[in-house]
Amino acid sequence: MSWTIPAIAAAAVTVTRPKKKVGQLPLRDIIALTPENTLLLYAGKLCLCKYVMPSPLDKEKLLSTMEPSETNNIKHALEVVDLADAVEGRVNLVLNNGKSYRCTFRRSPSSSLTNDCITAMAEGMSSSLYSHFLGLLWSDNNSTYLDKADSAADSEWESFRNVITKLCGNRSNATSGILSDTVSHSSWEFLIQSKYNQRYFESNYVAGAFPGSSSDLQGLHSSAAVLAETQNTKETCFRKLLIDTLDSLHAVYETLKLDNLRRRDLGLLVVLLCDIAYFLHEVSYLDHYKRDFPRLLKDFGMSQYLSTPRSPPSLFRWLENCLQHGCGSANICDLPLLICKDGTSIVNWGRKIVSFYSLLCGADQSGAMLSSGVTCNIAPGLYHTREELVVLGMVGEKFGLQHLDLLPAGVSLPLRHAIDKCRECPPTNWPAAAYVLLGREDLALLHLSDPTKYVELDFTKSSLISVSTPYMLPLHPVTIPSSVSDTLETDSTKLEDVDSLEGSASDGMEHIFNSSTQLRYGRDLRLNEVRRLLCSARPVSIQTPANPTASDQDFQQTQLWHLAQRTTALPFGRGAFTLGTICTLLTEALAVPKLVLAGRLPAQQNAMVNLDPNIRNIQELKSWPEFHNAVAAGLRLSPLQGKMSRTWILYNKPDEPNVTHAGLLLALGLHGHLRVLTITDIFQYYSLEHESTTVGLMIGLAASYRGTMQPSISKSLYVHLPARHPSSFPELELPTLIQSAALISVGLLYEGSAHPQTMQILLSEIGRRSGGDNVLEREGYAVSAGFSLGLVALGRGQDAIGYIDTLVDRLFQYIVGKELHSDRLHLFSSSADEHNRSTGQIIDGNLVNIDVTAPGAIIALALMYLKTESELIVSRLPIPQTQFELQYVRPDFVLLHVIARNLIMWSRIRPSEDWIQSQVPEVVKNGVKGLGNEMEDIYEVDVEALVQAYVNVVVGACISLGLRFAGTRDANAQELLYKYAVYFLNEIKPVCVSNCNGLPKGLSVYVDRGTLETCLHLIVLSLCVVMAGSGHLQTFRFLKFLRNRSSADGHAYFGTQMAVSLAIGFLFLGGGTWTFSTSNSSIAALLITLYPRLPTGPNDNRCHLQAFRHLYVLATEARWIQTVDVDTGLPVYVPVEVTIKETDLYNETSFCEVTPCSLPERAILKAVRVCGPRYWPQVIELCPEEQAWWNSGDKNHPFNSGVLYVKRKVGACSYVDDPIGSQSLLSRAMHKMSATTQPKSCSPSTECTGEVTVDQLVSTFSSDPSLIAFAQLFCDSSSTTRSELDFQEFCLQVLFECVSKDRPAMLQVYLSLYATIGYMVDSFVSDTCTSSDTLSLSSLKIAVAYNEAVSNGRLTNLRGGIVQSAFLGSLKKRIEDILNSCPDMNSQLCAYITSGEWPTNNNNNNNANKSRTFLSWYLQWYSVASPLDIKTVANKIRRDNICPSVALLRLVFPSTHISAIGALNRYYSSFKVED
């Protein structure tokens, strides 16, 4: 279809139909620039109007501002030559002088009612009729809103109303002059008289009532017959236009009845609809409007009835029938056609409500189409009930709580019912907006923290607010910062010694006290004590006489030296204690606390004492401790901070390399932050040739790239292994310490890969002497190679490639030391380049030096076959079973054998005394039974070998037990390890009476004290690994005793102090928020940390590099969880039920914890449920995924940052404010407050001044502003009259109902229903009637229908109806009493039934309005049929001579109340009497 418009320029704009679309594209108009330099607006080929040039283009105004000499040149030259850059309703006018002006066309009226009506007509009418209407609208000279851009909304409505009124009242004038008498008698006349032209004209008729339209028909001369037929066609078209207008505007009217804020627009629209219905003689429509607005003065008579009347659709009637009989029984004719039409926007409000009721009442679905005839966009998600489906529909339609408040109270009840029913336990995969709609912001935030787990809609934070309450703040996660600014400045958290000189010095632990730790420990001072014990930034106290002598000074130096051993070991524990507890500012350098080795003398006014540099090398003593001190400072950074900035790392880089920055690099690498460094940055660090920096960087890079086999990192590590250099490579003299670090770094980089070439290299390195000059460190080198080999093949011993058997044989050669004669070992022989270095092999001929190679080989086998349950490997790692074997095996090797065997046979480890004793060989067990019995000496038994073996077997079993139950806090394991720790302590020096019956006594006779001390501290470390992060009080007391005992006895050497420091840090890992995992990778990291060779001094790296002691960080995971109130943002106590899966040790078990707490390991955790009566329940079920749940860098797991949001029920106090629940007896408190409703008989001077007001009481239980405001405004005690007291009593009862059942939104519903019945009572007892409509009564009818649906079981809720059934029942009874008591109701009803007449004025307007109102109440409440329907039935009764009865009329009028049926029966019976 095409047409031609004369124009020199044109542009597509959106003016007349802004909301009309064709598919997905808007329907455009055309603005045309004619050759006459005028602008015409076209809708299709219909010219609507001519636009006047804007004021800047007004020639007269333009000329008046110019000089006379310039006016002659442009007086006739100023013209618009082009239209450009059209966007929606805007376009550029290009003038011939080169200037452009941006013009905006009036798109739509500012009056919402006018805009809704025009849009409804555009969507409901055919295009030809709507074009006809546009012609009338735009050509109307009274359409003032088209003339002025700032016209008022009232004038816009009046203009629109005038157009419709003219169609009704001046129809003949509107259609006159369309055709002229100038039609020629020619072929053209024959053409227009044809039937084809008549049909085309009828279907495409467009009135030419706009200027210029008659020019299209000039020259037409029709005969009288043609003119008469054309006139009839125009009559039909105009009537069709009015009928479609009535249908479209009636749909708008029914939709506006569902919006409480559009009552004024509804009153304006109903007047226009009455005019249209009156003109069209639509008596049923008139009756419908008069029932809603009984004061309308437009009357009608029975003579105006049509033979085929139309029944007006009614949304209220459909909603009521839907609740009473189900969606399938509701009459679809009660729905306006425009609501059922797809693609309509203006009646979306009504369509949404109809669709929600349809879903609630059992409508069938076919995609988005429902069986009720409307569409509904349903959000994705699981549902099991109709109520859940309704909630998903509300979310899909973006229908929120503030929209719910716009509905009439009764209409909103079923939707509130659906929300209330789903609130308790909604499905877990709903979008966040659904949880906000339910008032479960806790679940919404849980959902937002894990967007990959749930189905998500396109909801932003602003759209989430659109479905929440109007006063709700935007949703945002509430974090509990652990920074210095969050430190609680209370007396209990300050570490201020009364005799401290530098109490204000930063010790790196001041941030540990925050809201979370305060909530967990309360007034418990454990954290303060830990902070005191691990503080290395203040001088230690030395107890000396007040008047020291020279010998005392020597004693001071000796004591200070022992204390310095302890101080240098404290950073190990502080790093674990403060692990991941702060988020640093990337604009500030990281502060590292001082490491102070000085002492102070309290007896001498805190005089300072320093170590004598002439006796001790202070700088050498502080070298590696400063490194560990920096590591501890760096470990404070939280992994959840996200990706660290490369700039910040380089910003902390000093000008000269030092151990402090080296330790920081290691800490950042352990947290995975060194990935941001470029390869250039890495080699710049290496080029510094600083030992500590190289060690820290290599291990940190390997930890950051763990398991990735990154080629560039791998090359940088192999550079530091001279044994791997080709012969042409220049000789590098690298310290053994750096080579050991490189080996362990290779293992971390290739972790779990079973890379063949790497395994070959590492295997050969176990038996190779290090390239450094310090031959004493070769054991540490071999152990590092063994750890590295075990990491590469971690847990892959049985599924690695085929040469694994040969590799295992080589490892056993390193363990037992037999000759290397097997041909299969050729696979691992050195290459040609390596042959020249064969002198570095740790062999004597063909024999291997097992004293060096055995520890590394045993560890490698343990990690390779970790948890594989390989009986073959275990059988080749035997524990000596005879006296002879004990003579040829070192005792510490027995310890490693026990650990390796148990790690392989992982599932057989049991936390029992019997299991530990089962590890001890019979020969050893029998040999230690009679310790202290002199008769054993005659057998010439090497008792010392037996005791050494026994001690090492027990310690190995305890370490295995600690690794098996790492981070589990298993009570049996804790008791068992504690028992053996006390046992070894008593063997060293009896200090307490313990229950160690059955264990051998007198070990210290055969074992040196150093060995027993090492065994004791290894057991204590294992105990703290089990209880990691728990802060277990008994264990902590034991650690304090060990720390003080060692200092007093003079046995405070560095290794044991390091063990105690680490144990304290493990016990309070991350301030109690972190713990250990038992994954393969974690067990390997813990084994490296707990390697049973303790250093002898701060710089001892001979057997095990001290930097490896920090690798426990790789085994940690944040299973800590704290609950935060979603409304207040404060951490709270909440009981949770934790369910763990079935394991080899126990069945599926559930136990209760109180947050904040630590959860079990991911592998066994099944579900976490928030329980208890004070908080809304929620369940987090964990899918059996292999992926790690608590990944330190993953922010998408369900407990992001360890925060679980909960929502407290209204009416309950938090456990902090009300620990035992005594304050939650709200009913008792409200009963006390009810005394305020009684009339005051006492004087103000006798009133109690200390009473709590209702609003203060409510604010105790809820922070909901609507509840607090309601209590302040409606529940005060200032009432004096009886009616005010009654209303106040009602408000108190409603407030109690809403608070106790956590339904604050129901306040509005209760007040609305109460106001409805109050207005009716006031109208009944007074002479005036103030309200002009009866819509609130229709809303009350739906509320009663909802109550019946709940009572009959059509709608179910475990918590019962959301409105008290007795309350709605009393309202219903009160209304029926009023209607039955209305005066003259029978006569008025008879007149209405007979002739459709309403009460008239009769010189008393107030009485007439009151009578009309009472009659409308009766008709609405009892659902009386329209007069036309009643008349139709009456005629049928007369014609068929049927005897009327109540039963018959009940069938004819099923929705009419029985009271009205009786009146109808009397009316119909009068016909029978007359006959």
Q: How far apart are CA 1189 and CA 572, in angstroms?
A: 27
* CB-based burial, 1243-1266: b 16+ in 10 Å, e otherwise: eeeeeeeeeeebbebbbbbbebeb
Express each pLDDT in 991-1008 by its tens digit: 665 556 678 888 888 888
Give whichever of 131-140, 338-347, 797-806, 967-976 has the largest mean pLDDT.
967-976
- For residue 435, what pLDDT is reported? 92
Would you say residue 174 has pLDDT above 50?
Answer: no
Express each pLDDT in 1288-1326 by its tens digit: 888 888 888 888 788 888 888 999 999 898 888 888 887
Q: How far apart are CA 92 and CA 181, in angstroms?
A: 43
What token pair was written down for 502?
A: 């530098």
Q: Are 694 and 719 in contact (CB under 8 A)?
A: no
Would you say residue 2 has pLDDT above 80?
Answer: no
Helix 127-139 vs helix 224-256: crossing angle, to nearest 10? 90
Query: Which ranges in 1251-1364 belong to alpha helices (H)?
Result: 1254-1261, 1265-1274, 1282-1300, 1306-1325, 1335-1352
Q: How far apart are CA 1059 and CA 569, in angstroms?
A: 8
Closest-CA residue to 1024 (of 550, 426, 573): 573
Q: Are 1191 and 1176 in contact (CB under 8 A)?
A: no
pLDDT band at 1252 (very low <50, low <70, confident <90, very high): low
What token pair was written down for 773?
A: 């000059």
**DSSP type of residue 14:** -
- For residue 662, what pLDDT is reported? 95
* CB-based burial, 886-913: b 16+ in 10 Å, e otherwise: beebebbbbbbbbbbbbbbbbeebbbee
Residues 6+ apart with CB under 8 A from 267: 293, 1332, 1333
Q: How far apart are CA 169 and CA 1203, in angstroms?
A: 70
What token pair was written down for 1319?
A: 């207005």
- For residue 54, what pLDDT is reported? 58
- For residue 1110, what pLDDT is reported? 96
Q: How far apart are CA 672 and CA 293, in angstroms?
A: 73
Q: How far apart are CA 1428 and CA 305, in angstroms?
A: 7
Would you say residue 457 has pLDDT above 70?
Answer: no
Express each pLDDT in 708-740 by its tens digit: 999 999 999 999 988 888 877 777 778 889 999
- For residue 194, what pLDDT is reported? 64
Residues 6+ apart with CB under 8 A from 232: none
Express each pLDDT in 463-520 by its tens digit: 454 454 443 433 333 333 333 334 333 333 343 443 343 444 688 888 888 777 778 8
Whole-model pTM above 0.85? no
Give burial (CB, 10 Å; 0-12/13-18/19+) of 1438: middle
Q: Which single residue is written with the structure tokens 């493990």? A: 1066
Q: Are 156 and 382 in contact (CB under 8 A)?
A: no
SS3 assignment, position 105: coil
Q: How far apart are CA 951 and CA 1055, in angstroms?
A: 19
- For residue 858, what pLDDT is reported? 95
Closest-CA residue to 1126 (of 442, 325, 335): 442
Q: Are 850 and 817 in contact (CB under 8 A)?
A: yes
Express each pLDDT in 368-386 by its tens digit: 899 999 999 999 999 999 9
SS3 assignment, position 287: helix
Strands 365-366 and 369-370 come out as: antiparallel
Q: Are 233 and 198 in contact (CB under 8 A)?
A: yes
Amino acid identity of residue 942, one-letter, is D
> For residue 1340, what are the CA distances in angstroms to 396, 427, 1303, 1334?
28, 32, 20, 10
Closest-CA residue to 962 (of 1017, 920, 1021, 914): 1021
- For residue 214, what pLDDT is reported? 37
SS3 assignment, position 1242: coil
* CB-based burial, 1321-1332: b 16+ in 10 Å, e otherwise: eebbeeeebebb
Please give the helix or strand (H or E) that residue 1462 lies within, else none. Answer: helix 1458-1474
Closest-CA residue to 346 (of 252, 246, 247): 252
Would you say residue 1413 has pLDDT above 80?
Answer: yes
Closest-CA residue to 592 (of 516, 647, 541, 654): 654
pLDDT band at 76 (very low <50, low <70, confident <90, very high): low
Number of other CB atoms surrounding residue 1441 within 10 Å: 9
**DSSP type of residue 103:** E
Would you say residue 1442 has pLDDT above 50?
Answer: yes
- For residue 912, what pLDDT is reported? 93
Q: Are 892 and 822 in contact (CB under 8 A)?
A: no
| Full DSSP string of 487-520 | ----TTT----TT-S-TTS--S-GGG-SHHHHHH
Would you say residue 1088 has pLDDT above 50?
Answer: yes
- For residue 802, what pLDDT is reported? 61
pLDDT band at 693 (very low <50, low <70, confident <90, very high): very high
Q: How far apart are CA 1445 and CA 234, in angstroms?
A: 48
Would you say residue 348 has pLDDT above 70?
Answer: yes
Strands 25-26 and 607-609 come out as: unpaired
Would you say residue 1106 has pLDDT above 80?
Answer: yes
Express each pLDDT in 622-674 by its tens digit: 889 999 999 999 999 887 666 778 888 988 899 899 999 999 999 999 999 99
- For residue 138, what pLDDT is reported? 73
- For residue 1265, what pLDDT is reported? 76
pLDDT band at 201 (very low <50, low <70, confident <90, very high): low
What token pair was written down for 1104?
A: 């095990």
- For residue 983, what pLDDT is reported? 92
- For residue 1075, what pLDDT is reported? 92
Give burial (CB, 10 Å; 0-12/13-18/19+) of 1455: middle
Q: Are 371 and 363 in contact (CB under 8 A)?
A: yes
Q: Are 1455 and 1429 in contact (CB under 8 A)?
A: no
Least confident of 13-17, 399-403, 943-947, 959-963: 13-17
- For residue 494, what pLDDT is reported? 40
Quote the mean pLDDT of the chain: 79
618 versus 1147: which is more confidently predicted? 1147
Amino acid identity of residue 822, one-letter, is S
| Full DSSP string of 1018-1054 | HHHHHHHHHTTTT--HHHHHHHHHHHHHHHHHT---H
Would you say residue 1243 has pLDDT above 50?
Answer: no
1170 phi and psi, to 5 degrees? Answer: -75, 120
Would you say residue 1012 has pLDDT above 80?
Answer: yes
pLDDT band at 234 (very low <50, low <70, confident <90, very high): low
Express each pLDDT in 1124-1163 by its tens digit: 888 888 889 999 999 988 887 788 889 898 888 888 887 7
- For residue 107, what pLDDT is reported? 60
- For residue 966, what pLDDT is reported? 94
Q: What percent of the chain has pLDDT over 90?
A: 33
1204 versus 1039: which is more confidently predicted? 1039
Q: Which single residue is written with the structure tokens 């209370």? A: 490
Give whichever of 827-841, 1035-1049, 1240-1254 has the largest mean pLDDT.
1035-1049
Please give the helix or strand (H or E) that residue 401 lies within, else none. Answer: helix 401-404
Closest-CA residue to 26 (of 37, 35, 18, 34): 18
Q: Are 898 and 957 in contact (CB under 8 A)?
A: yes
Give whichever of 171-175, 868-872, 959-963, 1397-1401 has the largest mean pLDDT.
959-963
Q: How far apart are CA 737 and CA 538, in angstroms?
A: 31
Helix 1265-1274 vs helix 1254-1261: crossing angle, to nearest 10? 170
- For residue 1019, what pLDDT is reported? 96
- For residue 1474, what pLDDT is reported? 54
What token pair was written down for 1409?
A: 């309005």
Q: How far apart are CA 1340 and CA 757, in angstroms?
A: 83
What token pair was written down for 213?
A: 């339209």
pLDDT band at 825 (very low <50, low <70, confident <90, very high): very low
What is the C-alpha radius of gyration for the chain, rounded to an integer number of angstroms? Answer: 46
